[in-house]
Amino acid sequence: LPTVAIVGRPNVGKSTLFNRLVGKKLALVDDRPGVTRDRREGDVAFGGLNFRIIDTAGLEEADSATLLGRMRMQTEAAILEADVVLFVIDARAGILPADQPFAELVRRAGCKVILIANKAEGGAGMAGAYESFRLGLGDPIPFSAEHGEGIGELHEALKENLPESDEDEEDDDPRGKPLKVAIVGRPNAGKSTLINRMLGEDRLLVGPEAGITRDSISLDWEWHGRRIKLHDTAGMRRRARIEDKLEKLAVSDGIRAVRFAEVVVVLLDATIPFEKQDLTIVDLVESEGRSLVIGLNKWDLVADQPGLLKTLREDCTRLLPQVRGVAVVPLSGLAGDGLDKLMQAVIKAADVWDTRISTSRINDWLSEATQRNPPPAVSGRRIKIRYATQVKSRPPHFALFGNQLNALPKSYQRYLTNSLRESFDLPGTPIRWSLRTSS
């Protein structure tokens, strides 16, 4: 689901707006893992638009000395996570100095913003609405969260700004959404053989001309009741052959396959493993933020299987630190061996990629990890990491808040990444960090 964040200084009416949007589903609020006391989340169905909404209004009741600092952190995290921000001002009070830091955060993030001039029921607060131009966040929608005025305009604006959802497929299938999987690798690694084996022998009946006419790039499949969409490597190649641009397409085809997929299987020929091209493909999977599994194909040709497996696992640890712990699965597409193991690894990789960790668990981990191995001092000042939160999944993406974080050494970030992988069982997936420093 796309995410909408409600942002603004205390008392502008964020809670009221939140409650109005979440409506009768209020029971869902605070119901999901990953929600802290500081934040409220809910699912919204609003005139055909479906999205997740988060706000920071829960904080306002906290009324502690640290309120504004914590609210700022939560706001930053919410903005990072959001596809669209609803920036709320109090139209009657006008623009106050307290609005500015929050507006600054939104402007700096450069995200999509809908400006809401709240408390404007019955045409009140027009002066405040005018003033709001100064925020540089676009035209305000005069609104009343209390009385439901401006709802139509808000709906229009959301419709314009929310990303198209890709959920046009059979959504209510009890088996869930299909998992998108691509098998990539050098020519002759055995991709076509493996795909044909997965789909069953009848796939071999598909003639070359089918590749020209078929416009879909994916093949529907099912593994133990789980729906899978397999990227059609072979189909692409059939087309390429006909157009006689095989070399050129081989590269763009790999990129397309990686972009298509949620989990990418990089298939190696176990008799000639780890050439430069394989490492390039792994880098591509990492930079595109996909989850990864390594398949060692043609295992039937390997004489010393335990010995080679040990060597290759060590190679992976050494050559692929960015996806530490990645599953390495020996198999034979030709003989049909190891396919279940491969698919188990694919499903696990998808789950890891999709992980959401609650803010309280991350912060428990963070204080433990920073106590065990404190961040270094930089030019006499100690780097302080205060707070962490997960801002996105697919792949897992975390924000760190603290002081001097722009000086945080890469080696320390690696330490955190590896510690996080171990603590929350996140092997193989890329992990992203955003560092937010307050001084």
Residue positions forming the annotated binding site for GTP: 8-15, 55-59, 118-121, 185-192, 232-236, 297-300
Quick one: which segment of 95-103, 142-150, 218-226, 293-301 binds ligand GDP (CB under 6 A)?
Answer: 293-301
CA–CA distances in Å: residue 161 to residues 142, 158, 327:
18, 5, 39
Q: Is residue 299 classed exposed, middle or buried when 0-12, 13-18 and 19+ CB atoms within 10 A define those classes?
A: buried
300 scored as a contact of ligand GDP (CB under 6 A): yes
Size of the site for ligand GDP (CB under 6 A): 15
190 scored as a contact of ligand GDP (CB under 6 A): yes
Is the distance from CB of 366 to CB of 385 less than 8 angstroms? yes
Q: Which is nearer to ligand GDP, 192 or 291 (CB)?
A: 192
Among 119, 239, 298, 386, binds ligand GDP (CB under 6 A): 298
417 scored as a contact of ligand GDP (CB under 6 A): no
Q: Which two tokens stand for residue 165?
A: 């959802």
The site string for ligand GDP over 93-132 (x = CB under 6 A, - otherwise) reads ----------------------------------------
Q: Which two tokens stand for residue 131?
A: 């003033």
Output the smallest distance, CB 303 to ligand GDP, in A: 13
Quick one: which segment of 60-68, 189-197, 369-377, 422-430 binds ligand GDP (CB under 6 A)?
Answer: 189-197
404 scored as a contact of ligand GDP (CB under 6 A): no
Output the smallest distance, CB 337 to ligand GDP, in A: 8
- d(CA 189, CA 281) in angstroms, rounded, equals 13
Partnered with residue 432 across adjacent β-strands are: 397
- d(CA 83, CA 113) in angstroms, rounded, equals 9
For residues 332-361, which are near ligand GDP according to CB under 6 A? 332-334
305 scored as a contact of ligand GDP (CB under 6 A): no
Q: Which two tokens stand for residue 57?
A: 């209004």
Contacts of 119 (CB under 8 A, 6+ apart): 12, 13, 90, 91, 92, 93, 125, 144, 145, 146
Output the smallest distance, CB 332 to ligand GDP, in A: 4
Contacts of 201 (CB under 8 A, 6+ apart): none
- Residues in contact with ligand GDP by CB under 6 A are 185, 187-193, 297-298, 300-301, 332-334
